[in-house]
Amino acid sequence: MAEKKKIYLQPTPVRIWHWINAFGIITLTVSGAQIRFPEYITFLGSYKSAIYLHNTAGFVVAISFSLWFFYYMFVSRTMANLYVPKAADLKTGLVRQAKFYFLTYFLGWENPHHPTPENKFNPMQKSVYLGVMFVMMPLVSLSGIFLTNVDPLRELIVMVGGLKLLAGLHFLLACCLIAFIPTHVYLATLGHTPMEHIKTMWSGWEDEETEEAGTQENKDELASRRAA
């Protein structure tokens, strides 16, 4: 027996951050492409416009990232719970979620993970977001800050291996984040309807189908709580 209820999954600060981040990253991608390939890409007019836009968008994304970090870390205090995979996630959760995405989804089975405000991400999301938000975003922002302050930070740049290493790292990390966009957008369409998760990221509310029997994941979570 399944019944529908609405849950408030994405609080306002997170939604604001998400869309600033999304438009910021798209702006950074386009301007970054012109900065690297100026003889071929001239979407934004002059090279100088592309540089200024890239620097401004980078600054906005870095500030918005800091606010996101501050919110989850000190306001909602759910950072570790949401983003750090637990032992059960790594032992069985990852395989279960991968099995769903790459096999049982095509057979029409239900997603084993049901998001709640305390446990929004499935084990695969947690692992990927951990890398994206705690490794790639800080590194790409930091390398960008270094690249916009080459003269005053010259000695530190030489210490970390040189300007080319830094620019190369910035470029490859940006490529990884750009590669994440189509995957991220595609996976966002895997709800009960293609727009379900996207609407949630706009309104904050998600339709939740709860089943009396509960999912395997929820059972695991209950078992682990009892054991604790």
Partner 1 sequence: MKTEWTLKILWGSLLLAGLAFPLVASAMEMEDCLGCHSEIDVVGEALLVDAVKFEHTVHAELGCATCHSSVTDEHPDDGAAVSRADCLDCHQEVGDQYMQTAHAENATCGDCHDPHQAHGLDAVSASDMNEQCSQCHENAAVVEQHSEWLPQASLHIAKLPCITCHTSSEEYKIVLHISQKQEDRALSGYEISKYEDLKVYSGAKEIKGLIDINKDNFISLAELRTFNLNPAYKALHLDGTLFPSEASHDLTTLDNRYDCSFCHASGPGSMQTSFLALPTPDGSFARIDVEEGAVLDALYGTPNFYMTGSTRSASLNIIGFIIICCGFIMPIGHGTLRFLTRKNRKH
Q: Following CA atoms 167, 170, 171, 172 in sequence, which dihedral angle do they give, to the nearest 10 degrees? A: 120
Provide the mask over 17-46, with x wherever binding to partner 1 is found by CB under 8 A and - wherever it is not: ------------------xxxxx------x
The binder of partner 1 chosen from 91, 99, 154, 219 (CB under 8 A): 154
Q: How far apart are CA 3 and CA 210, in angstroms?
A: 6
User: Is 118 one of the binding residues for partner 1 (CB under 8 A)?
Assistant: no
The CB-of-203 to partner 1 minimum distance in angstroms stands at: 24
Say whether residue 176 binds partner 1 (CB under 8 A).
yes
Q: Which is nearer to partner 1, 61 or 124 (CB)?
A: 124
Tell me the one-letter amino acid at 33. Answer: A
Burial of 49 (0-12, 13-18, 19+ CB in 10 A): middle
Q: Interacting stretch for partner 1, rule CB under 8 A, among 10-18, 69-77, 89-97, 161-169? A: 161-169
Return the structure tokens found at 170: 């910035």
Question: What whole-number distance in Å separates Cα of residue 1 and Cα of residue 96?
Answer: 23
Residue from the set 95, 185, 195, 223 that interacts with partner 1 by CB under 8 A: 185
Q: Figure out which of the listed residues 151, 212, 225, 227 binds partner 1, where binding follows CB under 8 A.
A: 151
Beta bridge partners of 116: 119
Nearer to partner 1, 213 or 223 (CB): 213
Question: Does position 157 bind partner 1 by CB under 8 A?
Answer: yes
Distance (Å, whole) CA 133 – CA 69: 9
